[in-house]
Amino acid sequence: MPTGIVVGAGVFGASLADRLALEGWEITLLDAREPGDPRAESGGETRLIRCSHGADALYARSARRARELWLELDPDLLVESGVAWFARREDGWEADSERVLGELGIPVERLTPDEGARLFPSLATGDLAFVLHEAEAGILRAGVATRALVARAREAGARFRLGEAAPAGGAVALEGELLEADAVVWASGAWLASLFPGVVDLRVTLQQTVLFRAPPQWRGPGWVDFDAGLYGHALVEPHGLKVASDADGPPVDPSARPLQSGPEAEAAARAYLAHRFPALADAPVASAPACHYSLTADSNFVFARHPEHERVWLLGGGSGHGFKHGPALAEHAAGVLAGRAPPEPRFALGERGRGASLRTAGSG
């Protein structure tokens, strides 16, 4: 039986521990905090899951496969509300997404602005060319989903241990103990770059979100205003209706970042409500959690062997769009670790050029 250590119980690490345990590996999963902790990159309550990635077919396929795997884990993790993309021009991200999803056979529909307005109780469409609707997209219950992955991994025999882990050559130092395995995977989110300086290059940014209270008729789709750099979702009980900026926030230390968004985030979110969802312009705030991104230069993930340690692998660079892909990325990583497949070249270490956004923002 092969042995593995996965350091980090966020969505990438939890997904990989789950996949390897299901495939018969003897797995130890380590983290300094419990799965789903709000201070983690995978913390918080909701994430969009959508297949639209502009002209990029690799991530569209990955998101579709991940959707299947999330539903296998627990159908209740996905609020299958659909996602509406507010296209401000005819030839942008949304048009590229429509073409790629059509080629891949993934359900997608182009709606006129008036048709798109029927998805929401109040939607201003005067600046829209069309609305792209992914009916089988939706919202993942993020914290619950991360904990569900760890729970299934443990049912399959994985061990979960709390503690501060540090690299020790090809092994893991855990509070005075040295742990070794056939494969050691560091899936440490925003902390990956500080654990492996000069090997992994990430920018860690503070991102702010605001959730508003809304009446029951506001249950509905997730939404993305790509060219405005804003996204969110309609009412998801008990959390509220979400408005968030996907533009790059300021640099932040992930160990010391605030857990709450500032008043400027509420002001910006409320201004957007007044513009796009005018009936909610004065909606009360339900909560305002902050989070962080760990960004690669080109938005592609990291999964690669450490250049100096044969058994050590590095997994991360979620880049603000990674959560939804967790189980599919783990499926790929497990195949690489088992020798069934080569590593995806896009996920390699080394210098990367600035790439097109794969998030839900057209502006950086």
The terminus-to-terminus CA distance of the chain in angstroms comes to 45
Is the confidence at residue 364, as pLDDT, over 50?
no
Average pLDDT over residues 346-357: 87
List of residues 6+ apart from 309 with CB closer than 8 A: 169, 170, 184
pTM of the complete model: 0.97
Q: With 60 as the cut, is the pLDDT of residue 363 above it?
A: no
Distance (Å, whole) CA 330 – CA 187: 11
Token reading at 355: 């790439």
Q: What is the pLDDT of residue 88?
A: 97
Residue 217 has pLDDT above 90, yes or no: yes
Q: Measured between alpha carbons, how far is 207 from 364 in angstroms, rounded to an integer?
A: 12
Distance (Å, whole) CA 99 – CA 348: 28
Q: Give the amino acid at 170.
A: G
User: CB–CB of 85/52 below 8 Å?
Assistant: yes
Write the DSSP assignment of 27-73 as a string of letters: EEEEESS-TT-TTSTT-SSEEEE---BTB-HHHHHHHHHHHHHHHHH
Q: What is the CATH architecture assignment of 3-347?
A: 3-Layer(bba) Sandwich (3.50)
Per-residue pLDDT at 359:
87
159-162 and 3-7 strand pairing: unpaired
* Closest-CA residue to 282 (of 215, 207, 209): 215
pLDDT tens across 305-317, in order?
999 999 999 999 9
Q: Tell me the two tokens of residue 334.
A: 């497990």
Tell me: the pLDDT tens digits for 225-240? 999 999 999 999 999 9
Instruction: Kindly state the helix (H) or strand (E) to which residue 133 belongs, with its residue range.
Output: strand 130-134
Closest CA to 29 of 143, 144, 155: 155
Give pLDDT tens digits for 237-291. 999 999 999 999 999 999 999 999 999 999 999 999 999 999 999 999 999 999 9
**Eight-state DSSP code of residue 362:** S
- Pull the structure tokens for residue 359: 């998030």
Two tokens, residue 296 = 């690669």
pLDDT at 362 over 70: no
Residue 361 scores a pLDDT above 80: no
Residue 38 has what pLDDT?
87
Distance, in Å, from the CA atom of 111 to the CA atom of 114, rounded to the nearest integer, reads 8
User: What is the rounded distance in angstroms from the CA atom of residue 214 to the CA atom of residue 280?
Assistant: 7
Judge contact between 39 and 190, C-beta under 8 A: no
CA pair distance 25, 335, nearest whole angstrom: 12
Q: Cα 208 to chain center, whole Å?
A: 15
On the CB side of 266, CA atoms within 13 Å amount to 13
Residue 115 confidence (pLDDT) above 80: yes
Helix, strand, or coil here: 111? strand
